[in-house]
């Protein structure tokens, strides 16, 4: 794989730039200042279905290969299941896939979900008291909150087809699916097929990190073998993430399943990178230490626009608030420092933003009275 070049424009501050008084400070003091903050308006919580139209102009802007997709003109987007108890979710009809499309210069970018899994709400919100976070993301009877497993499909006019994230994949045991609250089969390949993309057409796969809910669809079982889902693609990870995933410790091993990534080395489909790299002209990966050592974000830039796909140090709109940091983050104060750099820049440069675990939507970040919010971009 011919990478373009490494950049010096790293968006994460070095760890040494975090003041020592912040490194030792109990984050609860920061949370207490937000206890009176009003909740996000109902219209921002995904509590309604949205009709998303796909116009002829959008189709004309896609690469020729993408135009083979037979896609309905309009589809109902999903109602976020996190607002419903589990007993009510089972009575709902299956959701139609989301077809949310953005054109960023020569890049056609779509966001969709591989499915929903459920995590303990306390783990997702760290030091934030439940009385605060449950106003934004209600929990089920097991104190779990629903999290989408979002993926990106990026196509350009040169014929590159890039998949970012592959969801939980098809290899989980029944016990794991119960533990993680996964009730439905993975949707990744069906979603790609709806968009006219076959697995053997994908040229690059990027995982923001190698936890099972981001990398599970990298491989599948073929009889007694585990093989790459995308046989012609190069899979791109941070070297630090690869090293940590292969040698997890007592705290991290529950999130890493070696079958999701180790077979890629045997198959010769692996490309390890360090820090910040432009993997294709206009598509850049930046290491952001916080959730893990080797977590990376994705930025796509062209024609004066930038689309930013966050990773799990800021997994959804509810984690825009500075002290709202998941307890799974191995380096929470570095997550905090990264937010302080990234969010003002996203506002100033009007980045289009997508999250890994929110309802699949694109939007922009705004700030009012010192509080960040996510404003969905209307179709």
CATH number at residue 90: 3.60.15.10
Q: CA-CA distance, 289 to 310, in Å (whole number)?
A: 12
111 Cα distance to chain centroid: 9
Share of residues in the chain with pLDDT > 70 (%): 74
- pLDDT(233) > 90: yes
Q: CA-CA distance, 150 to 166, in Å (whole number)?
A: 8
Q: Is residue 332 a contact partner of residue 291, using CB atoms and an 8 Å limit?
A: no
Quickly state the pLDDT bin for 149 (edges 50, 70, 90): very high
**Structural domain includes residue 197:** yes
C-alpha gyration radius of the chain: 20
CA-to-CA separations, 10 to 58, 275, 288, in angstroms, rounded: 32, 8, 9
Task: Give backbone dihedrals phi and psi of 54, rounded to 5 degrees, phi first.
Answer: -110, 110
**Structural domain includes residue 29:** yes
**Structural domain includes residue 5:** no
* Residue that has been written with the tokens 């009809």 in this structure: 93
Least confidently predicted of 35-39, 119-123, 133-137, 283-287: 35-39
Q: CA-CA distance, 137 to 116, in Å (whole number)?
A: 14
Kindly report the average pLDDT of the chain as a whole number.
Answer: 82
Identify the residue with better confidence: 223 or 94: 223
Q: CA-CA distance, 290 to 294, in Å (whole number)?
A: 8
pLDDT of residue 43: 36
Quickly state the pLDDT bin for 379 (edges 50, 70, 90): confident
Helix (H, G, I), strand (E, B) or coil at 279: strand
Quickly state the pLDDT bin for 10 (edges 50, 70, 90): low
| CA nearest neighbour of 10 among 306, 260, 341 | 341
Give per-residue pLDDT as tens, 78-111: 334 333 444 444 444 444 444 489 999 999 999 9
- pLDDT(30) > 60: no
How many domains does one find in the chain?
A: 1
**Structural domain includes residue 115:** yes
Domain span including residue 294: 12-376
- pLDDT(28) > 50: no
Quickly state the pLDDT bin for 31 (edges 50, 70, 90): very low
- pLDDT(6) > 90: no
Q: CA-CA distance, 40 to 44, in Å (whole number)?
A: 6
- pLDDT(45) > 80: no
pTM of the predicted structure, to 2 decimals = 0.78
Cα within 13 Å of Cα(95), Cβ side? 26
**Structural domain includes residue 3:** no
Could you tell me which residues are beta bridge partners of residue 373? 366
CA-to-CA separations, 190 to 27, 31, 45, 198, in angstroms, rounded: 42, 41, 26, 10
Report, as an integer, the average pLDDT of 343-357. 98
Token couple for 78: 């999903």
Q: CA-CA distance, 154 to 95, in Å (whole number)?
A: 23
Helix (H, G, I), strand (E, B) or coil at 190: helix
Q: CA-CA distance, 154 to 160, in Å (whole number)?
A: 8
Q: Is residue 118 a contact partner of residue 180, using CB atoms and an 8 Å limit?
A: yes
- pLDDT(121) > 50: yes
Using CB atoms within 10 A of its CB, is residue 192 exposed (0-12), middle (13-18) or buried (19+)? buried
208 Cα distance to chain centroid: 7
Quickly state the pLDDT bin for 1 (edges 50, 70, 90): low
DSSP strand E in 125-218: where?
A: 144-156, 161-164, 204-206
């Amino acid at each position: 794989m011919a990478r373009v070049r490494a950049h010096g424009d790293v968006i994460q501050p070095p760890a040494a730039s975090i003041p020592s008084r912040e490194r030792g400070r109990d984050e609860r003091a920061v949370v207490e200042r937000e206890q009176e903050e009003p909740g996000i308006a109902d219209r921002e919580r995904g509590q309604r279905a949205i009709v998303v139209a796909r116009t002829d102009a959008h189709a004309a802007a896609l690469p020729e290969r993408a135009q083979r997709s037979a896609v309905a003109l309009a589809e109902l987007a999903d109602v976020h299941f996190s607002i419903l108890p589990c007993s009510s979710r089972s009575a709902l009809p299956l959701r139609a896939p989301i077809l949310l499309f953005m054109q960023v210069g020569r890049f056609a970018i779509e966001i969709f979900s591989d499915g929903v899994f459920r995590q303990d709400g306390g783990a997702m919100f760290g030091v934030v008291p439940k009385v605060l976070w449950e106003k934004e993301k209600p929990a089920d009877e097991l104190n779990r909150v629903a999290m989408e497993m979002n993926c990106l499909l990026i196509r350009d006019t040169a014929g590159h087809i890039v998949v970012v994230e592959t969801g939980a994949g098809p290899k989980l045991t029944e016990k794991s699916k119960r533990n993680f609250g996964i009730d439905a089969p993975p949707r990744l390949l069906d979603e790609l097929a709806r968009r006219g993309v076959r697995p053997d057409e994908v040229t690059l796969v990027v995982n923001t990190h190698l936890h099972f809910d981001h990398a599970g669809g990298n491989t599948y079982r073929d009889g007694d073998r585990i093989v790459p889902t995308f046989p012609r693609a190069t899979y791109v990870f941070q070297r630090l993430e690869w090293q940590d995933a292969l040698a997890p410790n007592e705290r991290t091993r529950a999130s890493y399943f070696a079958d999701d990534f180790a077979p890629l080395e045997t198959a010769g489909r692996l490309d390890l990178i360090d820090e910040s790299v432009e993997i294709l002209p206009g598509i850049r990966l930046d290491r952001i230490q916080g959730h893990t050592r080797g977590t990376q974000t994705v930025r796509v830039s062209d024609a004066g626009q930038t689309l930013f796909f966050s990773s799990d140090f800021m997994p959804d709109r509810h984690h825009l608030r500075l002290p709202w940091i998941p307890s799974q983050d191995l380096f929470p104060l570095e997550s905090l420092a990264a937010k302080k750099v990234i969010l003002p820049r996203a506002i100033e440069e009007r980045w289009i933003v997508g999250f890994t675990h929110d309802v699949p939507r694109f939007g922009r970040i705004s700030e009012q009275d010192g509080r960040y919010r996510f404003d969905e971009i209307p179709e």
